[in-house]
Amino acid sequence: MRSICFYFQVHQPYRLKPYRFFEIGEDHQYWDDFSNRSIMRKVAEKCYLPMNALLLELIEKHQGRFKVCFSLSGTILDQMEAYAPEVLASFQRLVATGKVELLSETYAHALCALKSESEFRDMVGKHQQRIKELFNGYTPKVFRNTELIYSDKIGKMVYDLGFEGVLTEGAKHILGWKSPNYLYANAIEPKLKVLLKNFRLSDDIAFRFGEPKWSDYPLTTEKFVSWINQIPANEDVLNLFMDYETFGEHQWAETGIFEFMRHLPEAVFASSDFGFATPSEVIGQVAPVGMIHVPTPISWADEERDLTAWLGNDLQDEAFDKLYQLEARVKRSKDPEIHRDWNYLQTSDHFYYMCTKFFSDGDIHAYFSPYESPYEAFINYMNVLSDFILRLKQEEEAAVGMLV
């Protein structure tokens, strides 16, 4: 039986509060607690709680034949504990069924794989420890890098950390004539298996589902199953990867997205030769058809499927470089609050808000940003970073003073 692999990214950043220049050196509290709590509560009610309840219902109804996997960022786990413990409990119930796989990732949903292998290792280790603490000793076997960012080199780093597989985008400029509906291997370390997102069918659910102007609107389970039945019989796996907030937040309940998911497993079982599998199961059951060569990093963002959503202009590059110039100094710090803020400042969303794309994907960037403009996002971030640097300097000077 061929497999459908459902993967959901679950992430919320810690958003910065408006931080003015004159606050540098005076105010060391950077995070907008009110905004972070209110957004977390809103998304919990619209997406996390109802969708988790639905998935548990489907797992029980289909006696474990329906399976999914999640990647839960460290920042979302921290916010669940602080603002919505019932959401964390609902994820714990799902994982306890044994039919839900958890993936590993960087703790802060960071871009560190592009800049620092040592910080990447530290971030992954922190995330693994957090998962183990919250999910009864669970140890992920498969990795998902931030926003599916991947290259041959990143894959080698992932393998060296002990993972069996990695998820990434089935980008057209990488695949060429190849299909994403196979299992592949890393080009440097063939023992690492690579699962590629089928972006067309994934985006039909994630982006086009509730769009009345879409030529295939409305999307029904019967229509969707008819599409997957057109996949050639020798193609082993259909990877449907998307933000979990697709359900109820990006696609409101009124679009019928919950009912679509409620009836999809039954339609798949009744009218196709597909079943459902987790990434670890796919890796254990399917042989790679060959290596996939990804010499430069790809992602699942925007039309280009590259890094320009986060590192595509001078604002982003300056903020990114200035941040990682601090790595060695932060690692010498003994202050737990500095380490917490260092983690949260690395979250990719801060750089996403600075994106200056105004054409093909500009509306998407504006939708997710709490700022009026990318320039406002940059100035706010750099003000915070200036204060953070000042705190590092003060700690270093105090340490020197103690030695004198």
Q: Helices 199-206 and 221-228 sit at what angle, rounded to 10 degrees?
A: 170
Whose structure tokens read 């061929």? 2
* Annotation marks residue 57 as catalytic: no
CA–CA separation, 358 vs 317, rounded Å? 18
Burial 2-37 (b: 16+ CB within 10 A, else e): bbbbbbbbbbbbbbbbebeeebbeeeeebbbeeebe
Contacts of 42 (CB under 8 A, 6+ apart): none
Residue 292: exposed, middle, or buried by beta-carbon count in 10 A (0-12, 13-18, 19+)? Answer: buried
Q: How many CB atoms lie within 10 A of CB 62?
A: 17
Which residues, listed in sequence order, are joined to residue 291 by a DSSP beta bridge? 185
d(CA 119, CA 110): 10
The alpha carbon of residue 306 and the mean position of all alpha carbons in its chain are separated, in whole angstroms, by 15
The one-character DSSP state at 15 is P
109 Cβ contact partners less than 8 Å away, ≥ 6 residues apart: 11, 13, 73, 74, 75, 146, 347, 348, 349
Three-class SS state of 214: coil
Of the candidates 101, 105, 147, 249, the residue annotated as catalytic is 147
CA 290 to chain CA centroid, Å, is 26
Listing DSSP states for 170-195 in one string gives --HHHHTT--SSSEEEESS-TTSEEE
Tell whether the torsion through CA atoms of 352, 75, 142 and 195 is positive or negative.
negative
Cα Rg of the chain (Å, integer): 21
Helices 85-96/74-83 angle, 10° precision: 120
Q: Residue 334 and residue 343: Cα distance in Å, rounded?
A: 14
Burial (CB count within 10 angstroms: exposed 0-12, middle 13-18, buried 19+), residue 307? buried
Catalytic residues: 147
